[in-house]
């Protein structure tokens, strides 16, 4: 949530954030409902998302933080030495990032010996793919769906936004604690606990689910631009949803959208773009 309004992009921005005045009661209620977070930095408009983002940390700072995480992962996790899988990931990944307009950047890919069908991206264009993913995908188009999704997280600056949301939530909780300490409200300990749940389930988790759906949407755009078949992204998630061994917590308890939500959103977007059942034109 940001305060800047981009409904009229023709108006010059002063670079200031409007001041918002909230009473202690409004602050407590807003945090509990997951509708108010603290703001200590300006908003940035992301054209790929079509919305504002609260960014309290720069991408450069996150890259520095992620370097040690990536280095540690390479040391502690077993890497696959399968030349076919590694070449396949690098080839499809290169086609995707080129279509995303990021082909001039350095990207590093690693395939890890892990049975879980998963992949991840770290700031600084570090992409990890588990060998278990290759048992879930049927073709390069579906691999492109996964790598397009990861590349989309980079374009969307989701890591910086997620980090900022966590910082804002902590600041909001500190402000709520201070506000309640200055009142005669009873059961303050219970109220603080309720506020923590409100921030977690009302702000942070839904925001993460929003990120995943945005990455799905931008990822299929990259697939189409690279000449892959966008509808294969839908087939991939349908295959993942049919995995009998997959544990599925309720959506409101998960940082990811439910399979049903994800599939429905993809179907709607692919239909809107006219990509249902048709191959991309190169």
> Which sequence positions are flagged as catalytic?
150
CB 128 within 8 A of CB 76: no
Distance between CA atoms of residues 22 and 28, nearest Å? 10
Task: Give burial (CB, 10 Å; 0-12/13-18/19+) of 208.
Answer: middle
Query: What does the alpha-carbon distance between residue 73 and residue 219 come to, in Å, rounded to a whole number?
Result: 25
- Closest among 204, 180, 184 to 193, alpha carbons compared: 180
Number of CB atoms found within 10 A of residue 194's CB: 14
Phi, psi of 51 (to 5 degrees): -155, 170
Give the span between the Cα atoms of 35 and 126, in whole angstroms: 33
Query: Where are the extended beta strands (E) located within 67-177?
Result: 108-112, 119-122, 126-130
The upper half-sphere exposure of residue 97, i.e. CA atoms within 13 Å in the direction of its Cβ, equals 23
CA torsion, points 60, 61, 67, 72, in degrees to nearest 10?
A: -160
Q: Which of 40, 37, 44 is nearest to 15 (CA)?
A: 44
Q: Could you tell me the two tokens for 102?
A: 């990021």
Q: Are 219 and 148 in contact (CB under 8 A)?
A: yes
Residues whose CB falls within 8 Å of the CB of residue 55, separated by 6 or more in sequence, listed in order: 41, 43, 44, 157, 160, 161, 164
**Is the separation of the CB atoms in 153 and 215 below 8 Å?**
yes
């Amino acid at each position: 949530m940001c305060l800047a309004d981009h409904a009229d992009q023709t108006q010059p921005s002063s670079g200031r954030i409007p001041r918002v005045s909230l009473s202690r009661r409004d602050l407590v209620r807003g945090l509990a409902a997951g509708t108010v977070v603290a703001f200590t930095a300006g908003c940035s408009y992301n054209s790929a998302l079509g919305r504002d983002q609260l960014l309290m940390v720069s991408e450069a700072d996150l890259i520095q933080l992620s370097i040690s995480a990536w280095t540690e992962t390479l040391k502690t996790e077993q890497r696959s030495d399968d030349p076919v899988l590694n070449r396949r990931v690098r080839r499809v990944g290169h086609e995707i990032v080129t279509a995303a307009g990021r082909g001039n950047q350095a990207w590093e890919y690693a395939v890890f010996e892990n049975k879980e069908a998963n992949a991840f991206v770290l700031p600084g264009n570090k992409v990890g793919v588990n060998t278990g993913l290759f048992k879930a995908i049927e073709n390069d188009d579906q691999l492109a769906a996964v790598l397009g999704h990861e590349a989309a997280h980079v374009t969307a600056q989701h890591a910086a936004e997620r980090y900022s949301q966590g910082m804002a939530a902590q600041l909001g909780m500190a402000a709520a604690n201070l506000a309640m300490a200055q009142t005669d409200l009873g059961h303050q300990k219970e109220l603080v606990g309720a506020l923590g749940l409100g921030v977690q389930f009302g702000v942070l988790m839904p925001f993460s689910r929003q990120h995943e759906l945005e990455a799905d949407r931008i990822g299929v755009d990259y697939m189409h631009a690279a000449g892959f078949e966008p509808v294969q992204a839908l087939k991939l998630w349908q295959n993942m949803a049919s995995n009998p061994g997959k544990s599925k917590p309720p959506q409101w308890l998960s940082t990811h959208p439910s399979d049903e939500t994800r599939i429905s959103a993809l179907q709607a977007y692919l239909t809107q773009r006219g990509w249902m059942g048709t191959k991309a034109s190169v």
